[in-house]
Amino acid sequence: MEKKIVIVGAGYAGILTAKKLAKKFKKVKDISITIIDKNPFHTMLTELHEVAANRVDEDSIKISLNKVFAGRRVDVKLDTVTTIDFEKKTVVGTNESYKYDYLVLSAGSKPTFFGVPGAEEFSFKLWSYEDAVVLKDHIHNTFRKAALETNTEERKRLLTFYVVGAGFTGVEMIGELAEYVPILCENFGIKRSEVTLVNIDGLSRPIPNLTEKLSAKVSRRLEKMGVKLVLNAMVSGVGADFIEFKQNDKIIHNSAGTIIWAAGIQSADITQKTSGALEITRGGRVQVDSFLRSTKNENVYIIGDNMNFVAKGEERPVPQMVENCEQSADTAAHNIACAITGKGELEEYKPAFHGVMVCIGGRYGVAHVGLPGHFFSLPSFFAMFAKHFINIIYFIQVLGWNKIFNYMKHEFFTIRNRRSFVGGHFSNRTPSFLLVPLRVWLGAIWLFEGIMKIVEGWLTGPKLTGFFGGATGWYNSILNGANSTADPDTVSSATTAAANTAIHAVNLVSTHAAKVITLTADAASSATGAADAAGSAAGAVDGVVNAIGQVLINFNFLGLFKIIFVSGKTIAESTISDYAFKLDVPLMNWFVEKLILPNDGVQLAMQIFIVVAEILIGLALMGGLFTSPAAAFSLVLQFMFVCTTGLYLGTFWMIFAGIAVLIGAGRTLGLDYYAMPGLKKWWKKLPFVRKLYIYND
């Protein structure tokens, strides 16, 4: 018999519960999962302030539900739930009704106004995508109007902004606004001193969830940004052009052009409507048992902001924050699966929160993080890094690579006015057409290398023994020469070996072998001369070391790999083309020596692969077609050469050029301009691509 699971709300908790249940029941056909939300997208509520203050594009905080559940057995319903009939096990929406066997209530929250007159009518909210977009447009238009206003008092009113609430949302909003205001002032020709920014709350300090020390840091940062903190003040009234509050038994009435309400939340209307059928507590939250089931209905699970649960050892209910949504979603999904299948044991909800963090603009943050009982504070840079890292972890669960790429693009690669904790260093400012000559030249070099290998016979006979062996022998001659003793026989032996290696290396037919570590004829001659001159022990040693080069670095990292950096000449005589670098990896050496070199057929196959790869990479880069995979493969080849033959420093430019043209370099004066849009559309339509999110928008 089919079992129906209905999830009300596609917020942080709901969307993760649906995905986890879909994974658990992906092979069970008689289980249906339906998720209902009034929007066709999931909103990143923790990033609303970034949109409101125009740091990121509005689309960056939306995640399409159809994309999230592509390829998964989850039925997405765009509907507004009006009532829930618990006796008939039916969720009633404006469009249709939905029968359920198990219900997950994760409808989220809405602002609460504490009965303050005019607060709901005259203040701007910040609790939805629409709120953020409306506020962004309002702030911009306010500055536009103020720039044209000649009346001094009206201009002052327009440029007065109040944010009510000094919790997470309020502080992040006022911090973001304080960072945005100087930009608007410059754009509209307004003096920064004309703008008034106020953060007001009845609290004694901002963000009491933080330690007192960190709260003090938040206060200092806001004041430094030009924000006036008004604490221990209760807002008593809000109008179209004023705010009224009580502080120290005194009623204060100030004019204001913009009032943003961020003073608290309560459960969404549909959750509060369950009063009577479910046990409703303060703030409209539903009381649950240790398995996250309603205390009045075991088939109804409450998670995220809607749940009221006091964990063992705690005095207060779990906080209404994203981490609680993530952890409660996991527990609920597990317990529903156990209830349906009858397998496994129900899990009690044991949240383990890892701290809190707050961003004050895009460049500064504070964080108190760690493990239960072992928390510590982070400096600003690391606090911001942790914030972005945690966001990325969440995005991996929701939309994988697609959202990660999108997030990094908005937060780092297209950020303007240095509004990021890494400044604007990663933001794309260099016109892409300037990369065209570099891309074409890199492609030409690869094409030349491939053609020359054909001329040298790489398609007709094995060459890799000499290609790899000559380079390895040359490195060994330098390393052994540097470590040689004063014994004449040892000196003579090492010098003769160096000479033989050098001659062998010079006789390599590949021009690329010359590029990736060979010894010149002059070096061979010098080495032989050193052997003939070996008369005394000390003199012979000096002669060998000078003849076969200089060791700069020979570092063995735990036996996993060795970093070798040498010069074919003395330091005084060396040019950049004499310095060579090799990453000696035992696993790579074993692969070459045991699987490739002993078999001529394998050698020839590898040679053909290298030749074809170099030619294709060259043509692709020159034509700007499939530039990203071509550049990536060119880096792979360079890495192979670094680990086998090594590279002269004079060739390292190819590595850096490959990195430079890795992303989007073929979209300018290249065939990717025409080919990629169509291929991108085709790629996104493939079922497995959509399911694994291995595309970007």
- What's the number of CA atoms in the CB half-sphere (13 Å) around residue 271? 30
Task: Name the band, by pLDDT with cuts 50, 70 and 90, for residue 548.
Answer: low
Place of tokens 């400012």: 429
SS3 content of the chain, % helix, strand, coil (to 5): 50, 20, 30
Which of 71, 74, 47, 72 has the alpha carbon at shortest distance from 61? Answer: 47
pLDDT at 536 over 80: no
pLDDT tens readout for residues 677-695: 999 999 999 999 999 998 8
- Residue 381 vs residues 148, 174, 418, 564: alpha-carbon distances, Å: 39, 20, 14, 34
Q: What does the pLDDT read at residue 529?
A: 40
* Least confident span in 85-99, 140-154, 214-228, 462-476: 462-476
* pLDDT over 60 (residue 431): yes
Return the ∠ at Cα 378 (arms to 372 and 379), rounded to 5°. Answer: 175
CA distances (Å), 54 to each of 92, 241, 263, 568, in order?
Answer: 38, 24, 22, 56
Kindly provide the b/e burial profile for residues 37-47, where b requires at least 16 CB atoms within 10 angstroms of the residue's own CB: beeebbbbbbb
Superfamily of domain 3-108+267-344 in the CATH hierarchy: FAD/NAD(P)-binding domain (3.50.50.60)
Whole-Å CA distances, 203 to 206, 438, 661: 7, 58, 52
| pLDDT confidence bin for 309, thresholds 50/70/90 | very high
**Mean pLDDT, residues 79-90:** 96
- pLDDT bin (cut points 50, 70, 90) of residue 543 is very low
Q: Could you tell me the two tokens for 258? A: 């913009």
Segment 95-114 mean pLDDT: 96
What's the angle, vertex CA 40, arms to CA 36 and CA 46, rounded to 5? Answer: 95
Tell me how far the alpha carbon of residue 241 is from its chain's centroid. 42
Residue 551 pLDDT exceeds 90: yes
Per-residue pLDDT, 517:
42
pLDDT at residue 426 above 90?
no
Contacts of 31 (CB under 8 A, 6+ apart): 2, 3, 5, 25, 73, 340
pLDDT band, residue 484 (cuts 50/70/90): low
Lowest pLDDT segment from 443-447, 521-525, 628-632: 521-525
Task: Evaluate whether 3-108+267-344 and 119-263 have a shared fold.
Answer: yes
* Fold classification of 119-263 (topology level): FAD/NAD(P)-binding domain (3.50.50)
Dump pLDDT digits (tens) for 126-184: 999 999 999 999 999 999 999 999 999 999 999 999 999 999 999 999 999 999 999 99
For range 307-328, the mean pLDDT:
94
Q: How many beta carbons lie within 10 A of that of residue 556, not counting itself?
A: 11
Q: pLDDT digit string (tens) for 435-473?
A: 999 999 999 999 999 999 999 999 999 999 888 888 888
Least confident of 381-385, 392-396, 528-532, 628-632: 528-532
Q: Is the pLDDT of residue 338 over 90?
A: yes
Q: Full-prediction pTM beyond 0.85?
A: no
Cβ atoms within 10 Å, residue 576: 11
Domain boundaries of the chain, sorted by first residue = 3-108+267-344, 119-263
Mean pLDDT over all residues of the chain? 89
Rounded distance between C-alpha atoms, residue 310 and residue 315, angstroms: 7
H or E segment to which residue 589 belongs? helix 586-590
Q: What was the pLDDT predicted at 519?
A: 37
